[in-house]
Structure formats: structure tokens, C-alpha cells
Amino acid sequence: MTSTVLHGDPALRMPVEVRGYDINLELHSDATTLTLAGDLDAAATDALRGLLTVVHMTPSVIHVHADGVLGADLEAFDPLLEAARARRAQGLPSVRVESLGDAVRDLFGVLGLREQPPVVL
């Protein structure tokens, strides 16, 4: 909710749709953590796909925290599912979703994935 004052009138409150996403990747020698938040739309999916090319050979489990995701397109987790398949094929540790919010839980239900963390992709 934002407040706007027009020509000295009392503040008006108007709902404003907030859009955007945040993708945070932390690489350490013993752990890789990916935190997702906001609205995972097509732009976020493309950014995530690009970012995952950097970590595709990480020798540790990729821990994903998605409890801050407010909305997700049906394809939002495709890059993570693709990365998990590639890691399995290469004998690398899994991708684990350690926390998920309602939007991700709903999406996982539609995709036929487990809806309670941890979710091994």
C-alpha cells in the first residue's frame, strides 16, 4: 500500500501491485544455497536458468529456500528440475528445496511433487 498526497488533500491509499523477484546464490566450499523470493515470472525463470549454469557442477547439495516466493508461473521451477536431472545423470548430489511458501506448495501440487520440505528434485 502506498500513500499519495494530491494538492494538500489528505493522503489517499491505493493498492499497488508489487512485481519483481530476488534470486540470491551463495557459494561456499562446503555448501551452495539458492534463495528465491518474489514473483517468479518468465524473466525470473530466464535469470534462474542462466544462474544455474554457473553451479551445475557444484560438488555439494544445492539447498533451495523458496518460502519468500509470492507467485510462480507454471514453468518457474523448470530450470531447477532440469538442473536436478542433469546432476543426477552426472552422479552429483541433489537439489533440495528446504523451505517453500504457499505459491510454491501450490505449484508443486500441480506438478505432482511433494509439497512438504525437504523436497528432493
Domain assignment present for 95: yes
Contact predicate 33/65, CB 8 Å? yes
Is residue 41 predicted with pLDDT exceeding 50?
yes
Q: Report pLDDT for 59.
A: 87
Average pLDDT over residues 43-47: 90
Domain enclosing residue 97, as ranges: 19-120
Kindly report the CATH number assigned to the domain that includes residue 83: 3.30.750.24
Q: Report pLDDT for 31.
A: 84
Average pLDDT over residues 65-78: 93
Domain assignment present for 80: yes
Is residue 79 predicted with pLDDT exceeding 50?
yes
Is residue 4 predicted with pLDDT exceeding 50?
no
What is the sign, positive or negative, of the torsion defined by CA atoms of 11, 13, 19, 20?
A: positive
Query: CB under 8 Å to 41, separation ≥6 — which residues?
Result: 19, 21, 71, 73, 76
Number of domains present in the structure of the chain: 1
